[in-house]
Amino acid sequence: MENLSQFLPFVLMFVVIYFFMIRPQQKKIKQEKEFTASLKVGDKIITKSGLHGKIVELADTTAVMETMSGKLKIERSAISLELSAEMNKKA
């Protein structure tokens, strides 16, 4: 019984870390994968670096976006889920 009480704080600490750090991160990664998979031509997006544009072409891992100054080829992972969703709410 004494051995169990020694390990109880470590077990509780792991449970707290799992529910407050690991699990939310996994949910966020899953949401971002679903978002990048659901992108289609014509979607207005914002990249993580702050570039605004509209998707004109899509490939497996890349996208071509049209900006005011021309077309740019970017990685799908560079598209921001939060910023793009917020921009599309306002529009």
The residue ranges of every structural domain in the chain are 1-38, 40-91
Q: What is the mean pLDDT of residues 9-29?
A: 93
Tokens at residue 78, please? 């560079």
For residue 83, what are the contacts with CB-CB under 8 A and spacing of at least 6? 46, 48, 50
Q: Which residues contact 47 (CB under 8 A, 6 or more apart)?
A: 53, 65, 74, 78, 79, 80
**How does pLDDT run across 31-86, given as a tens digit for each residue?**
999 999 999 999 999 999 999 999 999 999 999 999 999 999 999 999 998 888 88
How many C-beta atoms surround the C-beta of residue 63 within 10 A?
23
CATH number for domain 40-91, candidates 1.10.8.60, 1.10.3720.10, 2.30.30.700, 3.30.420.10: 2.30.30.700
Secondary structure element (H or E) that encloses residue 90, with its range:
helix 81-90
